[in-house]
Amino acid sequence: MYESLEKLINKIQKEYSNISTRWNKDEKTKRINLKNTLVKDILMNDTIKGEILAYRNFINDNIIDFTIELQTEDFKGCKINTRVKTQNSIEFKTKNYFENHENGEIPINKCFNDLFGIRIILEENIDYKQMQLFIKEKYKKLKCIDSSKKKGNYKATHVYFSINNYTFPWELQIWNKIDEENNLKSHEMYKQEYVKWEAENKGGKIYG
């Protein structure tokens, strides 16, 4: 399983570098420091709002071949899924961070570190602590954290790919097969909150 995990991480690193280079060279890209800009600023600055959506659209337009490649390659029985965060989900997360996380006094790159996400569900289970140790030792520049919830049954390791403070990070979720059912249930509970909010706001209000 470590071989499949290493193969996936290497591929993500390469594609993230390629996409980031193209994004930063795009004349339409605004140079926003994602570390120094806070979530609360999104509500007051149309440039920041636009940049988040612009990156989301850029990923949608440029990630298709990579997604197909991941889904067709052999990762020894592991499941691979990808997703680009929807506009409504972006709006919901902004609102949630503003209301429940220090009134939005959180850097954007910590809130929107998953505009593009990849998930691998390992066919053979690996101890999460050993998994994190392996990644931290082999990929010293990657942020690797234990994202298991103290409350609830979600168990996972999350890895974040980042080049600089001007490029949105990508997220890799690593699940063991034994935890798949409980993790999906945990995601479903969060999704219910989002669906309720979406219905009440008729698609969201932050971006007009």
> Which pLDDT does position 193 carry in this prediction?
59
> Which pLDDT does position 207 carry in this prediction?
34
pLDDT at residue 208 tops 50: no
Residue closest to 112 by CA, chosen among 93, 92, 88, 86: 93
Residues 104/39, Cβ–Cβ less than 8 Å: yes
Structure tokens belonging to residue 155 = 């168990």
pLDDT at residue 55 tops 90: yes
| Euclidean distance between CA atoms 113 and 172, whole angstroms | 10
Rg of the chain in Å (alpha carbons) = 17
pLDDT at residue 190 tops 80: no
| Euclidean distance between CA atoms 125 and 1, whole angstroms | 8
Q: How confident is the model at residue 151 (pLDDT cuts 50, 70, 90)?
A: low
Specify the pTM.
0.88
> Which pLDDT does position 192 carry in this prediction?
59
**DSSP letter string, 66-93:** HHHHHHHS--TT-EEEEEE--HHHHHHH
Structure tokens belonging to residue 14 = 């390469």
Task: Give residue-wise pLDDT tens across range 86-110.
Answer: 888 898 889 888 888 888 999 999 9
Structure tokens belonging to residue 129 = 């602590």
Mean pLDDT rounded to a whole number for the chain: 87
More confident residue, 190 or 108: 108
> Which pLDDT does position 204 carry in this prediction?
44
> Which pLDDT does position 195 carry in this prediction?
54
Q: Residue 75 — φ and ψ, nearest 5°?
A: -115, 35
